[in-house]
Amino acid sequence: MCAKMKMHEWLVQCTHVINEQNAEADRRDKLLGSLALLLAKKNKRVKKKRFWVAPIFKKRYEHGFYHALLPTLKLEDLRFHNYFRMSTMQYEELLAIVGPHLEKQYVVREPISAAERLTLTLRFLAAGDSMSSMTYQYLVGLTTVSNIITTTCKIIWEHLCPLVLPSQLFEDDWRNIAEDFEDIWDFPHCIGAIDGKHVTIQCPDNAGSNFYNYKNSHSIVLLAICDANYIFRFVDIGAYGRRSDGGIFRESRVGQHLDAGQMNIPKSDSFYKGGPSLPYCIVGDEAFPLKSYLLRPFSGKNLSAEQSIFNYRLSRARRVIENSFGILASQWRVYRKPIISSVETAMKIVQGTICIHNWLRRNDIENRYISPDMLDRETAENEHIRGLWRTIMEDGCALVDISNCSTNTSTRNAMLIRDEFCKYFNNEGSVAWQNDK
């Protein structure tokens, strides 16, 4: 019996040794295979480029758009405005602001000028053409086109943003915005309209589901507050498209600063004689939370007549932000389809278009940037006419509505504030035509 047990143990040990030897042989074979593959790649002859610059690109000074056609286009103001979304004078002013920061040093080859870089970028944003298309229009390499667009949008954000989108407003600024809302949209103590959009992008590399939204596409979130004149006052760009419910607004810089009371908003006061002291508020739709500084409509179907009137008056003021996004999609056709670029470049493109939009809107004395039929408007009989931008948005573009970006909980104080605004719109602040709506 002992002899059999010893024999069995010996066989087990032999089997274990043989298995270890086989495993070691397999590891050695894999290592040798990897080494052979590395040696093969190292010894592989690298194909040299036939040209330092492709022959077609050498003809840039003869046939490229900037050199061949732009001088003629500058003589026709209407076509120039259609091509760049701005007049010749505005183009030169913008070039004076960002041009010095776009200049490159002459090292090996003559660099592309700042004016040509700005021209290419503005046309890309305005036309929504692919970068490959811009390559053949301006006779510049594809990688160079991508770098130019990314760099130019970055510089526009860095040097134009402080002028048209300051990071901080003061009490007088907020009061001026409130006066505009009261004069234009009959909504007192309103300091802005807020909304958010998904900006559709191509599927990022190795991003997992971070950018995958409820519309079954990939996107980054653009959250914005605008004033009564369609100028963006605060933006938050780049949140993951998958975020929903309470995350988008609560975790945005705008939401955090509003919650912390760090926006220099004026203190509560009465906006009519003998009325209660009410805070200055932002207006939003049902996607946003009801806060002491943010008004949203009454929800539900069985609303009273007073609540329905409040909802109408609020939606009338809130349409400003919808129209602002509509202008953005109408004028800058890069938003007409998913943005084909990396996430970082897509964010810079959004930043660049926001800054240029604000800059043009602030200087839009003749209302050339925004045509009258582009916006929602009301007739003398207070009939609502839909703006042309709605057709663009409905036909499909890269700007998509966000879902709920907040929870439905609200404080009693916030509900009391909304009730006071509701009372005002149905009494002292009523207008003759609101009951017809």
362-373 pLDDT per residue, tens: 887 677 888 878
Q: What is the pLDDT of residue 223?
A: 92
Q: What is the pLDDT of residue 409?
A: 60
Q: What is the pLDDT of residue 10?
A: 62
Instruction: Give 235-243 contacts, CB < 8 A, sequence gap 24+.
Output: 235/165, 235/354, 237/347, 237/350, 237/351, 237/354, 238/343, 238/347, 240/210, 240/211, 241/198, 241/210, 241/211, 241/212, 241/213, 241/217, 242/209, 242/210, 242/211, 242/212, 242/213, 243/405
pLDDT at 404 over 70: no
Domain boundary among 164, 195, 222: 164
Q: What is the pLDDT of residue 21?
A: 67
Residues 98 and 230 in one domain: no
Instruction: Please state whether beta strands 281-283 and 190-201 pair in parallel, antiparallel, or not at all (unpaired).
Output: parallel
pLDDT at 245 over 60: no
Mean local confidence (pLDDT), 411-421 = 91
Mean local confidence (pLDDT), 35-54 = 63
pLDDT band for 185, please (50, 70, 90 cuts).
Answer: very high
Tell me, yes or no, whether 19 lies in a domain: no
pLDDT at 195 over 80: yes
Q: Is the pLDDT higher at 393 or at 291?
A: 291
pLDDT band for 411, please (50, 70, 90 cuts).
Answer: confident
pLDDT band for 393, please (50, 70, 90 cuts).
Answer: confident
Query: CA-to-CA distance for 142 and 133, rounded, in angstroms?
Result: 9
Domain boundary among 109, 140, 164: 164
DSSP 236: E
Segments forming the whole domain that contains residue 425 = 171-429
pLDDT band for 100, please (50, 70, 90 cuts).
Answer: very high
Q: What is the pLDDT of residue 239?
A: 85
Q: Around Cβ 224, how many Cβ atoms within 10 Å? A: 22
Residues 118 and 253 in one domain: no
Q: What is the pLDDT of residue 53?
A: 73
Domain boundary among 111, 141, 164: 164
pLDDT band for 358, please (50, 70, 90 cuts).
Answer: very high
Tell me, yes or no, whether 144 lies in a domain: yes
Residues 272 and 136 in one domain: no
Q: What's the number of domains the chain is made of?
A: 2
Q: Per the structure block, which two tokens stand in for 84?
A: 């760049």
Q: Is the pLDDT higher at 199 or at 363?
A: 199
pLDDT band for 430, please (50, 70, 90 cuts).
Answer: confident
Residue among 208, 215, 218, 222 nearest 348 (CA): 222
Tell me, yes or no, whether 42 lies in a domain: no
Tell me, yes or no, whether 191 lies in a domain: yes
Q: What pTM value is reported for the model?
A: 0.84
- Of 135-139, 277-281, 400-404, the least confident: 400-404
pLDDT in tens, 157-177: 999 999 999 989 999 999 999
Tell me, yes or no, whether 47 lies in a domain: no
Mean pLDDT of the chain: 86
Residues 304 and 386 in one domain: yes
pLDDT band for 43, please (50, 70, 90 cuts).
Answer: low
**Whole-number percent of the chain with pLDDT over 90:** 53
Residues 138 and 175 in one domain: no
Q: Around Cβ 293, how many Cβ atoms within 10 Å? A: 16
Mean local confidence (pLDDT), 397-404 = 80
Mean local confidence (pLDDT), 71-81 = 91
Query: CA-to-CA distance for 6 and 25, rounded, in angstroms?
Result: 29
pLDDT in tens, 289-327: 899 999 999 988 889 999 999 999 999 999 999 999 999
CA angle 327/331/332 to nearest 5° reads 110
pLDDT at 340 over 60: yes
Tell me, yes or no, whether 131 lies in a domain: yes
Residues 202 and 144 in one domain: no
Residues 376 and 424 in one domain: yes
Residues 89 and 108 in one domain: yes
